[in-house]
Amino acid sequence: MLKKMFSRTLLCTTIATAGLIGAGIASAAQTLRIVGNFPNDHTSSVAMEQFKAEVEKNSKGELKVAVFPAMQLGGAQENVDQVRSGAVFLTWISTAYLSRTVPELSVLSLPFRFENREQAFGVIDGPVGEQISAKLADKGFAALGYMELGSRHLTNNVRPVKSLDDLKGLKIRLQPDETHLSTFRAMGANPVTMDIKEVYSALQQGVLDGQENPLCRHPRPQLQPGAEVCVGHRPFL
């Protein structure tokens, strides 16, 4: 999966090649708040800390960065809304949560479009990425760059998925991207959009049969009771 980085002010070019973030306006106190929904030990959260270090170093301490990973200030969609309103400076977020604002982002989610990461980055670092960045700018965001979380995988606690027939009827949590949703509907599943912060309780209560994410983003073992089946697939980057 590709993720998008946004910022109204380019503060650190090195982080632009390492991750994707979205930013609002710096406060008068010169403390920039950046938010994310990944666990503290996740690579994206580590990258946020690197961003903090680079900003404070290159501004010679004139700018301070306060980092809020692990959904401390809300889930993914809430983070986007906070950036839009200027309540926070920056968020590290999946493109899926911006695809309704800029539908052209869904081109990155076309199933089985990319054979490998090099091909994907070749597209997004070229004219296609420039056009998407322009669309984001029209909506008040300035794109800094992209990163990946890896190919996506499916887990569920019902049955192994070895064919399309095995997907039929499974209630699978997906991100709010219409391309993802349409793809899983076409394959016979029953996709459900849900913020990651709600997935744990939904799995516990049987509202969901499973969920789909890159391996590095999959819920910890304790997050999905009975999730004994993990299916490797590569429809989306």
pLDDT digits (tens, 9 = 90+) for 93-130: 888 888 888 899 888 888 888 888 888 889 888 999 89
pTM score: 0.79
- Residue 62 CA to residue 79 CA, distance in Å, equals 25
Q: Report pLDDT digits (tens) over 113-172.
A: 888 888 888 988 899 989 988 898 888 887 777 777 777 888 899 999 989 999 999 999
- Residue 78 CA to residue 56 CA, distance in Å, equals 26
CA angle (232, 198, 229) in 5-degree steps: 25
Q: Are 80 and 93 in contact (CB under 8 A)?
A: yes
- Residue 170 CA to residue 110 CA, distance in Å, equals 21
Give the pLDDT score at 146. 79
- Residue 44 CA to residue 27 CA, distance in Å, equals 24
Whole-number mean pLDDT of the chain?
79
Give the pLDDT score at 230. 56
Q: Are 169 and 188 in contact (CB under 8 A)?
A: yes
